């Protein structure tokens, strides 16, 4: 079963615009991670935010976490065509043995 | 590049056959997790191996089995293949278990069952 749900399922923007993706989850977590996947290949880790953190930045990425609403958002600023990919949130649920639970992903298309 | 490698990259099998997928973990990592990703879905956890022992299992039948070797590389075996087993199989390596930090994923093996 899948813990998280990303929203929207698909997003199409122009280069230079910002892209925001949201993720909701169901159970208490230790941390939440965002991954990127290009064309059905391997997953690339983008950023990890712990349950006691509210916001984290990495380059053009900004992640927020609201544990009271069980939700997170990923903001990509000044998007580029190379950002075109699927983005997944994954939670490390409390009580688990560290396996990640993924949502279905948001498919981002950035048009040049 | 994460340093995690998987073989083969693509595989075609027929229903009822058996398949073995391989994964070499990143240097220094002792934990390997396997995930199945159906088309258009997120990855689903199959199982995890830590120091050659199974250390957790998702909702997959016993015909999905695995091994981890002393060098921490790993195999995923699937018996009696079914059409629904067609998917991208991803392995991920990390150091330690429990409250894991980042898992580093390989490029995946795409399995097609006819």
pLDDT 10s digits, B40-98: 899 999 999 988 899 889 999 999 999 999 999 999 999 999 999 999 999 999 887 65
CB A111 within 8 A of CB A14: yes
Question: Which residues in B lie closer than 8 A to residue A31 (C-beta atoms)?
Answer: 99
pLDDT for residue A2 is more than 60: no
The partner residues of A57 in beta bridges, in order of sequence, read: A62
Question: Which residues in B lie closer than 8 A to residue A4 (C-beta atoms)?
Answer: 42
- Sign of the CA dihedral A20, A60, B27, A98? negative
Output the pLDDT for position B103: 87
A112 burial via Cβ count (<10 Å: 0-12, 13-18, 19+) = exposed
Confidence of residue B101 (pLDDT cuts 50, 70, 90): low
CB B34 within 8 A of CB B76: yes
Output the pLDDT for position B32: 93
Confidence of residue A41 (pLDDT cuts 50, 70, 90): confident
Cβ-based neighbours of A93, under 8 Å, separated by 6 or more = A3, A27, A28, A29, A30, A101
- Strands B109-113 and B87-94, by their bridges, are antiparallel
Output the pLDDT for position A94: 67
Output the pLDDT for position A4: 67
CA torsion, ordered B38, B39, B42, B43, to nearest 10 deg? 30
Q: Please give the Cα distance from B87 to B38 (Å, whole number).
A: 5
pLDDT for residue A42 is more than 90: no
Rounded average pLDDT over A36-54: 91
Is the Cβ pair A98, B94 closer than 8 Å? yes
Question: Which residues in B lie closer than 8 A to residue A2 (C-beta atoms)?
Answer: 41-42, 44
Confidence of residue A96 (pLDDT cuts 50, 70, 90): low
Comparing CA positions, the residue from B40, B55, B56, B100 lying closest to residue A107 is: B40
Comparing CA positions, the residue from B41, B73, B72, B76 lying closest to residue B60 is: B76
Q: Which residues of B touch A (CB under 8 A)?
A: 2, 4, 31, 33, 35, 37, 39-45, 48, 55-56, 58-59, 88, 90, 92, 94, 97-108, 110
Question: Which residues in A lie closer than 8 A to residue B97 (C-beta atoms)?
Answer: 97-98
Confidence of residue A5 (pLDDT cuts 50, 70, 90): confident
Rounded average pLDDT over B5-17: 97
pLDDT for residue A1 is more than 50: no
């Amino acid at each position: 079963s899948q813990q998280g749900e990303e929203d929207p399922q698909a997003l199409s923007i122009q280069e230079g615009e910002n892209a925001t993706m949201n993720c909701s989850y169901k159970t208490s977590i230790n941390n939440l991670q965002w991954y990127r996947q290009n064309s059905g290949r391997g997953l690339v880790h983008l950023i990890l935010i712990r349950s006691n953190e509210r916001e984290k930045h990495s380059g053009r990425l900004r992640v927020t976490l609201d544990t009271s609403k069980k939700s997170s958002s990923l903001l990509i600023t000044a998007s580029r065509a190379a950002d075109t990919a699927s983005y997944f949130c994954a939670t490390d649920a409390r009580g688990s043995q560290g396996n990640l639970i993924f949502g279905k992903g948001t498919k981002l298309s950035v048009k040049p | 590049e994460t340093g995690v490698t998987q073989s083969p990259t693509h595989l075609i099998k027929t229903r009822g056959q058996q398949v073995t997928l391989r994964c070499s973990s990143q240097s220094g990592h002792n934990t390997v997790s396997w995930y199945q990703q159906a088309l258009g879905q997120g990855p689903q956890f199959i199982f995890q191996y830590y120091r050659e022992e199974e250390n957790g299992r998702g909702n997959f039948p016993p015909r999905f089995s695995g091994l981890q070797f002393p060098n921490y590389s790993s195999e995923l075996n699937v018996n009696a293949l079914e059409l629904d087993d067609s998917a991208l199989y991803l392995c991920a390596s990390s150091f330690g278990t429990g409250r894991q930090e980042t898992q580093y994923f390989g490029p995946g093996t795409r399995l097609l069952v006819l």
